[in-house]
Structure 1
Amino acid sequence: MRQILAVAAGLVVLAASGCSAPAAPRSAAPPATPAGPAALPAPTGAHPVGTTALYLKDTSRPDPWNLDADARELKVTLWYPTEQRDGQRAPYMTPKESELLLKGTGIASAPYDTLSKTRTNAIQDAEPAGRKLPLVVLSPGFTKPMSTLTSLAEDLASHGYLVAGIDHTYESYAITFPDGRVAECLACDSDTDPGFGTGAVQNRAADVSFVLDQLTSKWQHSDLIDHKRIAMAGQSIGGAGTVAAMVKDPRIRAGIDMDGTTFARIPKSGLSQPFMFLGAQEHVPGGQDNSWDRDWKLLTGWKRWLVLSGADHQSFTDLPLLADVLGLEPLPGMLPAARGAEITRTYVAAFLDQHLKLRRQPVLDGPTPRHPEVKFGRRFPCPHDRQCLPAEGR
């Protein structure tokens, strides 16, 4: 499960879910000409977006990765609609977090604090607005901080969702706690162990249930949350964690796996909640990764299997949007970063709108001329005038 960051031809491209190879020496590549700070795309919804961070401690269980910790500490970043339009924008990550991420992924073509300068759209510690908001839990890929899903989180919040992004401690290159401690990736020493993926997603499921307990009963704004409208989405092993969390916790009414090999086994009785696979080419039905084929037949409710042509493993995150400031060039034939972000936002929001807000979304009914890159698979009806995956993949 070794996750290798390929900088071939320049763009950040990661394999499934595991740790990266050791960082290349800083002198391995000449520094790129600075492109100026990156800016995340503006949210597309009607609401301004606020954000704040919570630091939670689960004293009911020891940390699964740090044997010296008798409690599990978690950082949870919240994004939400607000009426406040002016104020300080939230930082994307700290300089130290940027440094450890770039070192961990072997990027030496930009100053190590580069990602800390990324401009976000959410107002730090703004007062939340609205009542009885649907809640969406987000879980990032292995080794990646929650900040790498910020663009998606901000967009969902602008459409009236409360988004809770979990940093799974010791599973990413760096997480900073309020007292200044930086938790590095202890789990990276174990990612090649037999059964690592299965254990990791069960740990994530436990994290999610604990966070839901805290948000729905102990958070100062818990009255904002509609307990009957909770969903989860994750990228890479975060997507696998979504399956594990849904199997364990019935409060999660719908789920999305963005390009993640699944590890948690679904009971033979099936998983009846709405579910969507959204992935890159290796997840074509019958393709390189067969975990989706295995689980598809056990998804007994509303379901979709979408493959995004030209996408790679990180196309569902912010990382391609940041390639320019890192001095990296896209690989030939890859989906442009802005287009990948647009499609991810569109289909994730459509899924959530349909299943949490009960607003039918025609974009989920089949391929559309506006999104020709999105192929529907696995026995899904395909109009003759639209592009679908090959018949044997449906």
Structure 2
Amino acid sequence: MNKLTRAAAAALLACAVALPAAATTATAAPAPPRTTTTTPDRPAERMRLPAPTGRYGVGSSVLHLVDRSRTDPWVPEADGRELMVTLHYPAARPTTVRHMPGRPAPYATQEEARLLLKGMPVEDPASVRQVARARTHSAVDVRPAPGRHPLVVLSPGFGMPRFTLTSLAVDLASRGYVVASLDHAYESSGTSVPGGRTLTCVACTVMEENDWTKGHLVTGARAADTRFVLDRLTGPRPTWRYASSIDRTRIGMAGHSIGGASAVSAMATDPRIDAGVNMDGTFWDTLPADGLGGRPFLLLGTDEFHRPGGGDTSWDTTWAALSGEKHWLTVDGADHLGFSDAPVLLSHFGLPSGDLSAGRAVAVTRAYVAAFFDEHLRGRDQPLLDGPDPTHPEVRFHRP
């Protein structure tokens, strides 16, 4: 197997521009070198994401939305701000995808998978097919479970497609949440849109040229994207056929990397969002005087960089400004991409993915994000948030 650096492995899932969590001014991860030597042994079996842990089966719908009231910040000549949204939601009985009607939901399109793997030693047609056809444990457009369910918006890391948060999205849906995962136009390695088009990461070039001094442009655009999506899902004429299953009075947002920073930015401008989670993202925006108006927030990050007084001082600053119930947790052994599907994909291809195993990385992320939303959107007390737990020894609690 090639001896790849972690930065090169990270580029597999971030188009070589993943935002490092170690500093408030970040640079792009270096692109991995192309090689014609031995490549990792790749398993022939189908790639599978970890099975969800909740009691519901999971449905999946994809929406294409265009906000023509705004100019796209990266491609001003585009016809508005274009978004792709995947909705995962609790499905009506039966509770397993194997026995549900409808076809299995794909993980990604072939072109999205190809662009994700571009430049890596697993860039070949067989690997592309494995990623695109990865088992997601969800079925397309099946009937939702009865009742109204809290809504959680997910925003991925910079350069990363929305599907790299699928393990978390599917698990939350299996626990009874409607989950909207967003692809922000021109900010991912590749986003397939109707008409056979693919939007690539124009923003990556812009941000590289500015040496990451304009991260607020990303968080500001994503906050506006979130407001628009909430309007289209919970407004008087919703665009999703199953929108009646959303409880519009219980809305949360979580994100990875700059997607997590965007969660606090969106909450600062949209009172509909009741609770938020930042998974290992550097904050770019200053909170208003009242913080988030008393709304709860979870900081969940790498222990190496995001413990109090660590390399990312934006966490200390934002923590002090948060006025509601707040939690600061770090995960020992996790790396920056460990809060996404990266460990699962990298380990499938035999590539390095950090000190924490893929299974543990997914389990920890799922457990604490779900506990946070269960407590703050559903009002269910969660002892897991009260302090260290022997079933999750990697997680450290901080109360600066």
Say yes or no: TM over 0.5. yes
Aligned to 1:208: 226
Name the amino acid aligned to 1:312: D
Residue 24 of structure 1 deviates from its aligned partner by 3.1
Aligned to 1:328: 351
SS at match of 1:314: helix
**Alignment check: 8 A CA contact 1:92 1:117 kept:** yes
Aligned to 2:308: 285
1:185 is the counterpart of 2:201: yes
Residue 277 of structure 1 deviates from its aligned partner by 0.1
Aligned to 1:108: 121
Name the amino acid aligned to 1:203: A
Aligned equivalents of 1:330 and 1:349: distance in 2?
A: 23
Instruction: In structure 1, list runs of 5 or more residues that go unmatched.
Output: 379-393
Aligned to 1:315: 338
**Alignment check: 8 A CA contact 1:84 1:126 kept:** no
**Alpha-carbon deviations, 1:59-88, whole Å to 9, x = none?**
101111112213111001000011254232
Aligned equivalents of 2:143 and 2:115: distance in 1?
A: 32
**Alpha-carbon deviations, 1:147-193, whole Å to 9, x = none?**
00000000000010000011011000100012110000000111131
Corresponding residue pairs, total: 371
Aligned to 1:385: none
**Alpha-carbon deviations, 1:202-256, whole Å to 9, x = none?**
0000000000000002223322221110000000000010010000100000000
**Alignment check: 8 A CA contact 1:273 1:302 kept:** yes
Aligned equivalents of 1:149 and 1:351: distance in 2?
A: 17
Aligned to 1:132: 148
**Alignment check: 8 A CA contact 1:5 1:21 kept:** no
Residue 133 of structure 1 deviates from its aligned partner by 0.9
Aligned equivalents of 2:234 and 2:121: distance in 1?
A: 42
Name the amino acid aligned to 1:31: T
SS at match of 2:281: coil
Name the amino acid aligned to 1:6: A
Aligned equivalents of 2:105 and 2:29: distance in 1?
A: 28
Residue 20 of structure 1 deviates from its aligned partner by 4.5
Q: 2:396 aligns with which of 342, 354, 375?
A: 375
Between 122-131 and 152-161, report the one with greater CA deviation: 122-131
Structure 1 pair 117–20 and aligned structure 2 pair: CA distance change class (3 A): farther
SS at match of 1:375: strand
1:197 is the counterpart of 2:215: yes
Residue 324 of structure 1 deviates from its aligned partner by 2.9
Name the amino acid aligned to 1:108: P
Aligned to 2:97: none
SS at match of 1:328: coil
1:118 is the counterpart of 2:134: yes
Name the amino acid aligned to 2:337: Q
SS at match of 1:137: strand
1:59 is the counterpart of 2:68: yes
Residue 306 of structure 1 deviates from its aligned partner by 0.1
Q: 1:265 aligns with which of 270, 276, 286?
A: 286
**Alpha-carbon deviations, 1:246-281, whole Å to 9, x = none?**
001000000000000011110122222100000002
Between 13-22 and 153-162, report the one with greater CA deviation: 13-22
**Alignment check: 8 A CA contact 1:152 1:345 kept:** yes
Structure 1 pair 330–182 and aligned structure 2 pair: CA distance change class (3 A): closer
Structure 1 ranges of 4+ moved more than 4 A: 8-14, 17-20
**Alignment check: 8 A CA contact 1:11 1:329 kept:** no
Aligned to 2:159: 143
Aligned equivalents of 1:161 and 1:9: distance in 2?
A: 29
Identity of aligned residues (%): 47
1:304 is the counterpart of 2:327: yes
1:94 is the counterpart of 2:109: yes
Aligned equivalents of 2:335 and 2:386: distance in 1?
A: 24
Aligned equivalents of 1:204 and 1:302: distance in 2?
A: 24
Aligned to 1:387: none
Aligned to 1:32: 40
Structure 1 pair 19–51 and aligned structure 2 pair: CA distance change class (3 A): farther
Name the amino acid aligned to 1:137: V
Residue 18 of structure 1 deviates from its aligned partner by 6.3
Structure 1 pair 324–249 and aligned structure 2 pair: CA distance change class (3 A): same
Q: 2:384 aligns with which of 339, 359, 363?
A: 363
| TM-score, length-scaled by structure 2 | 0.88
Structure 1 pair 130–364 and aligned structure 2 pair: CA distance change class (3 A): same
